[in-house]
């Protein structure tokens, strides 16, 4: 299977299901058997997934993509052995990051709900004009892209987490802020915006927000 078929959904689902690390192997860049050069899509997805991991508080080094030819069995063994050692040092997912498994799954599942939105954003804002490893690395690791990604994803991720909480039961602003570690004023801002879009409603009797 082409490494370009490894969707963001697969990566986040793997971590959400408790995988401590994910290794993706692809054919060498610029040596793709297909005109689509899907291994560059794999490289872009890796950079995007690492940004998502950082946003939810997980170590992005839990994900690695390496490119090699079918004859590079020795390299595959070397890469996987090194990655295994690294993941063992990091320990179970969430442990070194200070999050329990339930919180890790909650945050990743909230991020997964944003994948359709991220696909649209990727086409408009995160397309690299030149297909080369250096160009992709310089683009995705630039401060400007990191700031742009945080700006685009930050509020969306917070709202996604809030929607998941409200899916369980109605909550007041203070409880939402406490459970998600957000500023109450930011929660209020998100609730006002979500209310305008018909996503939530405010119950004056219980003074709680609930899904519309």
- 136-185 residue pLDDT tens: 999 999 999 899 888 888 899 999 999 999 999 999 999 999 999 999 99
Give the pLDDT score at 171: 96
CB atoms within 10 A of CB 126: 18
Give the pLDDT score at 5: 84
Q: How far apart are CA 128 and CA 137, in angstroms?
A: 10
Classify the C-alpha dihedral 15-62-142-39 as positive or negative: negative
Q: Which residues contact residue 5 at a Cβ distance below 8 angstroms, ignoring those fewer than 6 apart? A: 38
- For residue 1, is pLDDT > 80? no
Give the pLDDT score at 166: 95
The DSSP H or E segment spanning 30 is: none
Query: Domain extents for the chain?
Result: 3-160, 167-212
Give the pLDDT score at 30: 86
Backbone angles phi, psi at 142, to 5 degrees: -75, 150
The DSSP H or E segment spanning 152 is: helix 143-166
Q: What is the pTM of this model?
A: 0.89
CATH for 167-212 (1.10.10.10, 1.10.3720.10, 1.25.40.20, 3.40.50.1970): 1.10.10.10
Q: What is the mean pLDDT of residues 51-68?
A: 95
- For residue 32, is pLDDT > 90? no
pLDDT band of residue 31 (cuts 50, 70, 90) is confident
């Amino acid at each position: 299977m082409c490494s370009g078929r490894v969707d963001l959904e697969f990566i986040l689902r793997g971590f959400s299901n408790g995988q401590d690390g994910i290794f993706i192997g692809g054919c060498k860049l610029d040596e793709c058997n297909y005109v689509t050069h899907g291994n560059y899509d794999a490289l872009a997805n890796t950079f995007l997934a690492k940004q998502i991991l950082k946003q939810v508080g997980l170590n992005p080094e839990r994900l690695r993509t390496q490119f090699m030819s079918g004859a590079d069995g020795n390299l595959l063994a070397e890469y996987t052995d090194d990655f295994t050692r690294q993941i063992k040092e990091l320990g179970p997912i969430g442990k070194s990051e200070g999050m329990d498994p339930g919180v890790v799954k909650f945050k990743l599942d909230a991020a997964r709900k944003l994948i359709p939105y991220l696909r649209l954003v990727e086409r408009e804002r995160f397309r690299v004009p030149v297909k080369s490893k250096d160009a992709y690395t310089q683009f995705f690791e630039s401060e400007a892209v990191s700031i742009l990604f945080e700006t685009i994803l930050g509020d969306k991720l917070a709202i996604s987490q809030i929607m998941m909480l409200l899916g369980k039961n109605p909550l007041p602003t203070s409880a939402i802020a406490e459970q998600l570690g957000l500023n109450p004023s930011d929660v209020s801002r998100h609730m006002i915006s979500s209310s305008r879009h018909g996503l939530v409603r405010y119950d004056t009797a219980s003074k709680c927000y609930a899904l519309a």
